Chain A
Amino acid sequence: AQKVTQAQTEISVVEKEDVTLDCVYETRDTTYYLFWYKQPPSGELVFLIRRNSFDEQNEISGRYSWNFQKSTSSFNFTITASQVVDSAVYFCALREETSGSRLTFGEGTQLTVNP
């Protein structure tokens, strides 16, 4: 069965520090998709990135970067030069090809960026 583990429940950093959020997944499918979502206090889940299992190329978008490694079943998310506005709960999610559109989420990591 599919599973997503975000071992870091809470992380607190000072503004301008770099921070990495860890995500480890389990799946038996060879085709799957990984996602990161941001959830600010308002509650809405904001889509950040999607990667498919055949594309291990790392991606950078501004201060955000993602490291996908199939060998370790990890999909980690790094924020460079963090800002107070980055404070939120971040969720990693998995969708298996055989599970339709069902997303399996991790428990989330609460990131607090202090000024």
Chain B
Amino acid sequence: DAGVTQSPTHLIKTRGQQVTLRCSPISGHKSVSWYQQVLGQGPQFIFQYYEKEERGRGNFPDRFSARQFPNYSSELNVNALLLGDSALYLCASSYAGTIETQYFGPGTRLLVL
């Protein structure tokens, strides 16, 4: 079975622009979480969605938003990009989003110039 997939793999944007990142979970998984990993640091939790509802939000500004579709795929949107948004954005899926292990995708590398 395919693992978690993310698109695009790399992205270059300029300050002030908007970006949409996409994630497809492992087949059968209903929960998707998003993490931001700045170079040299551990991943930071952004959002969790389960059954198309937001179940958790990390300490990120309102410029960050997400949604989950009926097929359980998810999009992360970031508006008004700042240089500090440059990071690896990781998507993780799990079956039910509570005690199950999260499995991560390869990430999207975003560079904001």
Within 8 A of B (CB), among A83-112: 91, 93, 97, 99-108
Give bound CA distance, A4 to B43, whole Å: 12
- Tell whether, in the assembled complex, residue A44 and residue B106 are in contact, meaning their CB atoms are under 8 Å apart: yes
Give bound CA distance, A2 to B101, whole Å: 18
Within 8 A of A (CB), among B49-102: 50, 55-56, 58, 88, 90, 92, 94, 97-102
Give bound CA distance, A3 to B78, whole Å: 27
- Residues in B neighbouring A47, C-beta threshold 8 A: 101-104
- Residues in B neighbouring A64, C-beta threshold 8 A: none
Partner of B98, one of A50, A52, A101: A101
Residue of A nearest to B88 (CB): A43
- Residues in A neighbouring B58, C-beta threshold 8 A: 102
Residue of B nearest to A42 (CB): B106
- Tell whether, in the assembled complex, residue B42 and residue A101 are in contact, meaning their CB atoms are under 8 Å apart: no
Cβ proximity bits A42-57 to B, threshold 8 Å, 1 near / 0 not: 1111110010100000
- Residues in B neighbouring A107, C-beta threshold 8 A: 40-42
Within 8 A of A (CB), among B11-61: 31, 33, 35, 40-45, 48, 50, 55-56, 58
Partner of A101, one of B48, B104, B109: B48
CB-CB under 8 A for A100 and B48, given A33-B99, A105-B42, A106-B42: yes
Give bound CA distance, A42 to B100, whole Å: 24
Q: 14 interchain pairs (CB within 8 A)?
A: A43-B90, A99-B56, A100-B97, A101-B55, A101-B97, A101-B100, A102-B45, A102-B48, A102-B56, A103-B43, A103-B102, A107-B40, A107-B41, A108-B41
